[in-house]
Amino acid sequence: MSMLQYLKNTVRSRSIHVAYVNVGSCNGCDIEILACLSPRYDIEQYGIYVHNNPREADVLLITGAFSSQWEDKLKPLWDKIPHPKVAVAIGNCPISGCVFNRPETLVDPPVSKHIPIAAEIPGCPPRPTEIISTILSLAPIIFKDYEETKK
Amino acid sequence: MLSFIYYIREFLRPKWITTFFTARTPPLTTPPYFRDFPELTDKECTHCLACMMICPAPEAIIVTQHEGVWRPEITKGHCIRCGLCIEACPEDVLASGRILAYKKEEELTLQGTFHIEINQSTCMGCGNCSVACPVNREIDPALRSSGTSTSDEVIMRIDTGQNKVLHEEKCTGCKTCEDNCSNKAIRVARVVEALQGGEE
């Protein structure tokens, strides 16, 4: 491993930028993401920063059961994120639609039909601890030695 | 001047430097009272399906048979961790957090009945629901394709071109009628009553 790669790994492990997008959630999971920022959980001590700008994001957190308005919007948003990138589905809704996935509703779960999802966090909503530990365990798999393993 | 020296000495202490750069909130552990996904206890499941009846999330819990033993299975990604299945189970097969403890303390029992609602403007009176109903078939085996019946003991029957519900309390909540209705005119709703302090 070159020195440059080592430097990149070190920096990337302490600088994970997060954007979150609500594709038709009840806001329960968004509040749990918000709770991660609070002093009780404090994601910035792990080097995770929330900018909510896809152009500088590494991790995209998706909440919600995919309402039809997002059909033509989620894929362009995913394409805007520079590589290396990863999408995490938060809560039951992006996984299965959960209680919203009933006959004659307009939701279209799972979100993995539309963009590739790397990890799913079940729960309605999941604990902030589960969200943080998922991002932290996923980041080394995706970002470590990215330039060498992408070929 | 003295204070400068004092500050420099204070900030060069190794302990202060290490705590400054490696500050961490306490380890994030899940408290034991957290209502997590229900887990199986060693009690025996009797296949009463009370958990499936009470579950508010579609496909979250299913009771399956493995090597002759019935046991409930929770699907992560569907389960919303509400804990109603634990409260509803009469045999305490499932456990999570403090639910079993307070269920025992408060002598909590859940009783469910079913309410059949028929939208009379979309019901065609075809009789599919009355014929498909397994309870109806048991009470009146002579029930035929038109859905009419001579028995007054059936849950519902076709009477003068309209579906009439006679004995709602016999419904077991299987929702076979909903599946067989071509117009989605019939709906079975669960009405649950929570009782505290044992049987009244």
Q: Are the C-beta atoms of A61 and A20 separated by less than 8 Å?
A: yes
Percent of chain A predicted with pLDDT > 90: 7
pLDDT of residue B172: 77
Residue B151 lies in a domain: yes
Number of A–B residue contacts, CB under 8 Å: 48
The pLDDT, as a whole number, for residue B25 is 66
* Nearest residue of B to residue A104, measured between CA atoms: B184
Residue B169 to residue A92: CA distance in whole angstroms: 34
Strands (DSSP E) contained in chain B are 39-40, 61-66, 69-74, 94-95, 109-118, 156-159, 162-165, 186-195
B33, B79, B188: best to mutate for the A interface, most A CBs within 10 A: B79
- Mean pLDDT of the A18-23 span: 90
How far apart are alpha carbons B62 and B69 in whole angstroms? 14
Tell me, yes or no, whether B11 lies in a domain. no
CB atoms B58 and A95 under 8 Å: no
In a domain, A2, yes or no: no
Q: What is the mean pLDDT of residues A117-138?
A: 87
In B, minimum Cα distance to A42 occurs at: B25
In the block, which residue shows the tokens 């048991």?
Answer: B138
Nearest-CA neighbor of B60 among A130, A111, A24, A99?
A99
CATH of the domain at B86: 3.30.70.3270
Q: So what's the pLDDT on residue B75?
A: 86
Residue A37, pLDDT > 80, answer yes
Q: Which of B80, B106, B132 is the last residue of a domain?
A: B106
Question: How far is the C-alpha of B152 from the C-alpha of A145, rounded, in Å?
Answer: 75
Residue A1 lies in a domain: no
Residues in chain B with CB shorter than 8 Å from the CB of A119 are none
Q: Whole-number mean pLDDT of chain A?
A: 86
Whole-number pLDDT of residue B126: 83
Contact A101 B58 (CB under 8 A): yes
Question: Do the domain assignments include residue A67?
Answer: yes
**Within a domain: A135:** yes
Question: Domain total for chain B?
Answer: 2
Is the domain of B183 the same as that of B124? yes
Do B132 and B83 share a domain, yes or no?
A: no
Q: Do residues B101 and B123 both lie within one domain?
A: no
A45/B28 touch (CB, cutoff 8 Å), yes or no: no
Chain A residues near any Cβ of chain B (below 8 Å): 39-42, 45, 92, 95-96, 98-99, 101-103, 120, 122-124, 127, 129, 132-133
Shortest Cα distance, chain A CAs vs residue B3, angstroms? 31
Residue B11's pLDDT is what?
84
Per-residue pLDDT, A50: 87
Distance from CA of A40 to the nearest CA of B (A): 7
Q: Which of A93, A95, A98 to mutate to test the interface with B (most CBs of B within 10 A)?
A: A98
Residues recorded for chain A:
151
B79 → chain A, closest CA residue:
A123
Give the mean pLDDT of A5-24.
86
Q: What are B164's strand-pairing partners?
A: B157
> According to the model, what pLDDT value does residue B187 have?
84
Q: Is residue A4 a part of any domain in this protein?
A: no
Asked if the structure places residue B196 within a domain, the reply is no
- Domain that includes residue B57, residue range: 39-106
Mutate to test the interface with A, among B24, B25, B28, B85 (most CBs of A within 10 A): B28
Whether B14 is in a domain gets the answer: no
The beta-carbon contacts of A36-44 under 8 Å, at least 24 apart in sequence, are A36/A128, A36/A131, A36/A132, A39/B25, A40/A128, A40/B25, A41/A128, A41/A129, A41/A132, A41/B25, A41/B28, A42/B25, A43/A18, A43/A132, A43/A135
Which residues have a Cβ under 8 Å from the Cβ of A33 and sit 6 or more positions away? A20, A50, A61, A63, A90, A128, A131
Domain assignment present for B15 = no
| Residue numbers in chain B where pLDDT is lower than 50 | 200
Q: Which residue is associated with the tokens 């669960």?
A: B190
Distance in Å, alpha carbon of B18 to nearest chain A alpha carbon: 14
If one compares A3 and B149, the residue with the highest pLDDT of the two is A3
Q: Answer yes or no: is pLDDT of A38 > 60.
A: yes
